[in-house]
Amino acid sequence: MKDIKTDPASATVTAHQYVEISQFLAREARLLDQNLLWEWYATLADDYTSEVPVRVTLARAEVIKDSLAEFKTGVHHANDTKGSTRIRIERLFSGYAWTEDPSSRTVRSIGSIEVANSNNENEFDVSSALLLYRERGLEPDHQFISANRHDVIRSTSEGLRLVRRTVYMAHTIVNTPNLGLFL
Amino acid sequence: MLTNVTGPILEDPLADLLKRCEKEIAQGMMPVQIFGNDAVFEAEMERVFARTWMFLGHESEIPNIGDYVLRRIGLDPVIVVRGDDGKVRVLSNYCRHRGTELCQVDQGNAVNFTCPYHGWIYKNTGEWQSAPKVSRAYRELDPKEWGMFEAPHVDAIHGLIYANLAADAPTLRDFLGECVWFLDLIFGLHPKGMRVVGPPTRWRMRSDWKSGPDNFVGDNYHVDTTHYSMDVIGALPDSKKMVDFVYQYDVADGFSFTGHNFAKWFGPSWDTPWGYPKELSDQFDYSNLDEGQMSVLEKSILVTGNMWPNLSFIRFPGTPDPVSVPPATYTQLRQFQPIAPGLMDIWVWQFAWECESPEYTELSISAGTNAFSSSGLFEQDDTVVWEGFSRVGSSLFPARTDDMAMNFQLGFEGMSDNPPDPDWKGPGTARMTGIGESGHRNFYRRWISEMKSK
């Protein structure tokens, strides 16, 4: 698991690159909020993977030694490839995905965007914060799902593509009835 | 606490409701008011959670001296710790001085537990050890009286750690009774057994804790409705046929399992137990299994179950992507933790056989996460359909007529095609289709019995 870059080599990233990547993330959030899931799927690289690791609360001393200590390996809340993501979206369009029928009403706020050149040519390490407001169905009660995301975004001849996403949630006990949505 | 402090007669405020429950379960029904009800919830903490053998985790989670994890008994946080003497204890997390929580993390390793308030120190065996300025502060304090509260009974079976807070509890094996026969089939097929992979995953659902057992106990009837999307995307072949490839096993009240015949449902290539790869299933040892257990393995192998009160099991094959990832079979234990009426946390432990390859472990964990987790393709739809239980419990309609009951009549008396197996060689009863709710009735009978006895 790569560390979240808190001090990216931002000097090597141009303002244009930062704008492009910020627009990419904002557009992605809009597509997902609007349920334009196949349009969002088209922004994924063929070698796309994503994971939502499980977080536990540990003593501060352990987190000081390793900033990612609380994010355990071996199990996940979600762990996907492009292929399994396709199946998730197919399920949501099956007409029988009760979880999201009616759909959740979401607002994704993306902020705290940092962009750095990665070791791979044409790829960027991108860190962003997600605050996802979620309401569903008849009830007015809502949840805020909050996470730091570390992404690898690739510049291709067809535009930017999301290669890898790791979602570092603030939650140990996930505070929403299901993760039937994309973070 | 349901204690009266005035008045000579300590009438149980739930007496009428429980009488209704007894009358109705005999007709295959239960009043809706057992859900979403503050008085019922409070009573459940005392009459169910404080008196039962409660699952807390697995020995593989605390392998070393000093290892501990923070778990729950009802609403109580408890430290499950392997003390310096090697013994596993279950200790209340509250300092004996003022109740400050000694442990505010999910897991760790400790020689002592020290309170951040006044500095009382306990050994990791729970014994009171010392306090600041102890020779001036506590000249006459008897350490034996001020150790961390400890569960009087702690035991394990197949590495599964249980504790019971009741002073006069039956042994764990007596409590589990014939359920042990089924646990041997799930966990006992290899001498090295299974281990837990990673910490338990947890998430919070808007449902009564009983809605989980109500499903995993043997709700075979919901699969091709709730989970029909899985058929549509080709992840489940023809779920409408499932009820005829399913057995329902009900042992002493509160313990039930389902079994599936994978060869009949998925095809003859599914000829190893649970579809495990031969390099794994060839390592299994069946020498201790009896005729009934072998028949389960051959004809209707265990897939789901619930163990009183709130520990469910699932073992099933799956793949996140049938196009490029081969199926693997996952094993989970899941516990439905009560938080409030209409609110529960699900804790899911994923298991791997010690003797399996790391590659297979990765595949099976990934399959389990993909199917049953907060993002699980099966699980997601369950989270939605379970929300009504506790809401209907406080609805105005049943309060008017006192008549509103949930229907558990599937397979009850002559209602359905749900015949018992006359040749069943195992404990309890086995029904030969999934068109039944005998497991549900089994669970609620146990609930009534525990709630009635004070």
Domain assignment present for residue A73? The answer is yes
3-state secondary structure chain B: CCCCCCCCCCCCCCHHHHHHHHHHHCCCEEEHHHCCCHHHHHHHHHHHHCCCEEEEEEHHHCCCCCEEEEEEECCEEEEEEECCCCCEEEEECECCCCCCECCCCCEEECCEEECCCCCCEEECCCCEEECCCHHHHCCCCCHHHCCCCECCEEEEECCEEEEECCCCCCCHHHHHCCHHHHHHHHHCCCCCCEEEEEEEEEEEECCCCCHHHHHHCCCCCCHHHHCHHHHHCCCCCCHHHHHHHEEEEEECCCEEEEEECHHHHHCCCCCCHHHCCHHHHCCCCCCCCCHHHHHHHHHCEEEEEEECCCEEEEEEEECCCCCCCCCEEEEEEEEEEEEECCEEEEEEEEEEECCCCHHHHHHHHHHHHHHCCCCCCCHHHHHHHCCHHHHHHCCHHHHHHCCCEEECCCCCCCCCCCCECCCCCCCCEEECCCCCCHHHHHHHHHHHHHHHCC
Choose the mutation target among B208, B229, B231, B370 for the interface with A, i.e. most A CBs under 10 Å. B229
Which band of pLDDT confidence, cut at 50, 70 and 90, is reported for residue B3?
low
Q: For residues B357 and B276, is the Cβ–Cβ distance under 8 A?
A: no
Give me the pLDDT at residue B213, please.
Answer: 97
Please check whether residue B240 touches A, CB under 8 A: no
Contact: A73, B381; criterion CB under 8 Å: no
Chain A to chain B Cβ contacts (< 8 Å): 139
Give me the pLDDT at residue B394, please.
Answer: 80
Domain assignment present for residue A179? The answer is no
Please check whether residue A103 touches B, CB under 8 A: no
Give me the pLDDT at residue B348, please.
Answer: 98
d(CA A183, CA B377): 16
Chain B partners within 8 Å of A102 (Cβ): none
d(CA A103, CA A37): 12
Which band of pLDDT confidence, cut at 50, 70 and 90, is reported for residue A80?
very high
Domain assignment present for residue A177? The answer is no
Q: Which are the contacts of B418, defined by CB distance < 8 A and separation ≥ 6? A: B248, B410, B411, B431, B432, B433, B435, B436, B438
Of A84, A97, A173, the CB nearest to B370: A84
Find the residue in A nearest to B202 (Cα): A173
Structure tokens at A97: 């995905």
Which band of pLDDT confidence, cut at 50, 70 and 90, is reported for residue A11?
low
Give residue-wise pLDDT tens across range B416-438.
999 999 999 999 999 999 999 99
Chain B partners within 8 Å of A99 (Cβ): 380-381, 383-384
Contact: B201, A88; criterion CB under 8 Å: no
Tell me which CATH homologous superfamily contains domain B178-452. Answer: Naphthalene 1,2-dioxygenase Alpha Subunit; Chain A, domain 1 (3.90.380.10)
Q: A89 to chain B nearest CA, in Å?
A: 10
Contact: B201, A94; criterion CB under 8 Å: no
CATH classification of the domain holding A138: 3.10.450.50
Domain assignment present for residue A131? The answer is yes
Q: Is A40 helix (H, G, I), strand (E, B) or coil?
A: helix
Of B205, B320, B373, the CB nearest to A77: B373
Chain A partners within 8 Å of B108 (Cβ): 58-59, 62
Choose the mutation target among B61, B223, B324, B373 for the interface with A, i.e. most A CBs under 10 Å. B373
Q: For residues A112 and A7, is the Cβ–Cβ distance under 8 A?
A: no
**Parent domain of A92:** 10-169
Please check whether residue B101 touches A, CB under 8 A: no
Of B226, B320, B375, the CB nearest to A98: B226
Average pLDDT for A141-146: 95
Chain A partners within 8 Å of B208 (Cβ): none
User: How many domains are there within chain A?
Assistant: 1
**Do the domains B53-165 and B178-452 sit in the same CATH topology, yes or no?**
no
Contact: B104, A94; criterion CB under 8 Å: no
d(CA B55, CA B210): 16
Contact: B369, A76; criterion CB under 8 Å: yes
A residues 24..83 contacting B (CB < 8 A): 52, 54, 56-59, 62, 72-81, 83
User: Parallel, antiparallel, or unpaired: how do β-strands B405-407 and B29-31 relate?
Assistant: antiparallel
Nearest residue to A83 via CA among B379, B229, B323, B378: B323
Chain A partners within 8 Å of B202 (Cβ): 172-174
d(CA B56, CA B75): 13
Contact: A97, B229; criterion CB under 8 Å: yes
B1 pLDDT more than 60: no
Domain assignment present for residue A176? The answer is no
d(CA B90, CA B165): 10
Structure tokens at B421: 């197996």
d(CA B312, CA B299): 22
Choose the mutation target among A178, A182, A183 for the interface with B, i.e. most B CBs under 10 Å. A178
d(CA A45, CA A24): 13
Please check whether residue A119 touches B, CB under 8 A: no
Q: How far is CA B179 from CA B284, B299, B426, in A?
A: 21, 19, 11
Q: A65 to chain B nearest CA, in Å?
A: 14
Q: Give the number of other Cβ atoms within 10 Å of residue B167's Cβ.
A: 7
ipTM: 0.94
Contact: A57, B104; criterion CB under 8 Å: yes
Which band of pLDDT confidence, cut at 50, 70 and 90, is reported for residue A60?
very high
For residue B257, which amino acid is it?
F
Give residue-wise pLDDT tens across range B5-55.
554 455 788 999 999 999 999 999 999 999 989 999 999 999 999 999 999
Choose the mutation target among B384, B386, B389 for the interface with A, i.e. most A CBs under 10 Å. B384
Tell which CATH architecture fits domain B53-165: 3-layer Sandwich (2.102)
Give me the pLDDT at residue A2, please.
Answer: 46
Give residue-wise pLDDT tens across range B174-229.
999 999 999 999 999 999 999 999 999 999 999 999 999 999 999 999 999 999 99
Of A73, A83, A94, the CB nearest to B233: A94
Give residue-wise pLDDT tens across range B78-122.
999 999 999 999 999 999 999 999 999 999 999 999 999 999 999
Residue spans of the domains in chain B: they are: 53-165, 178-452
Tell whether omega for the bond before A102 is within 30 degrees of 0, i.e. cis: yes
Contact: A96, B202; criterion CB under 8 Å: no
Chain A partners within 8 Å of B375 (Cβ): 52, 77-78, 178-180
Regarding pTM above 0.80, the answer is yes
Please check whether residue B205 touches A, CB under 8 A: yes
Give me the pLDDT at residue B398, please.
Answer: 75
Domain assignment present for residue A4? The answer is no
Q: A86 to chain B nearest CA, in Å?
A: 9
For residue B261, which amino acid is it?
N
